[in-house]
Amino acid sequence: MASRVSSKGKGSKGRSRRGRCVKEWSTWAMKKAKVVAHYGFIPLIIVLGMNSTPKPHPFQLTLSFEMSEHSIISYHCASFSYSNEELVLECVRDELLHNL
């Protein structure tokens, strides 16, 4: 009888230990998920946005204001030919010539 009681006690202790283990692991996972969400949410939105069509230019991420007509022209040139450096230089050169 004593052995039956002791085996029952061990069984319940084992179950509560497993429950505590699960709770500890889930708390650890929630803490890590919270840190990941805290640091990664805004970068995730920016990555998704930069990959959406029409693809925006990385320059647009900065605080740039299109206050004058001239700046709009040079900005459009740069965004149109993001991959083509020569055309960008040409646009900037034309812009400077117009200003002179």
Partner 1 sequence: MGSPSPPPPLGLASVLPPKEAEEKKEKKVDYLNLPCPVPFEEIQREALMSLKPELFEGLRFDFTKGLNHKFSLSHSVFMGSMELPSQSSDTLKVPTAHYEFGANYLDPKLMLVGRILTDGRLNARVKCDLTDNLTMKINAQLTNEPHYSQGMFNFDYKGKDYRAQFQIGNNAFYGANYIQSVTPHLSLGSEVFWLGHQRKSGIGFAARYNTDKMVATGQIASTGIVALSYVQKVSEKVSLASDFMYNHMTRDVTSSFGYDYILRQCRLRGKLDSNGVVAAYLEERLNMGVNFILSAEIDHRKKDYKFGFGMTVGE
Which residues sit at the interface with partner 1, rule CB under 8 A? 34, 37-38, 41-42, 44-46, 48-50, 52-56, 60-61, 63
Residue (of 46, 47, 50, 55) closest to 80 by Cα position: 55
Q: How many Cα atoms are found within 13 Å in the side-chain-facing hemisphere of 68?
A: 5
Please, which residue, 45 or 96, has the CB nearer to partner 1? 45
Contact 75, 64 (CB under 8 A): yes
Contact 53, 35 (CB under 8 A): no
> In whole angstroms, how close is the CB of 71 to partner 1 at the nearest point?
15
Please, which residue, 2 or 63, has the CB nearer to partner 1? 63
> In whole angstroms, how close is the CB of 14 to partner 1 at the nearest point?
25
> In whole angstroms, how close is the CB of 67 to partner 1 at the nearest point?
12
> In whole angstroms, how close is the CB of 8 to partner 1 at the nearest point?
29
Please, which residue, 38 or 98, has the CB nearer to partner 1? 38
What does the alpha-carbon distance between residue 87 and residue 76 come to, in Å, rounded to a whole number?
A: 12
Question: What are the structure tokens assigned to 95, written together?
Answer: 């812009």
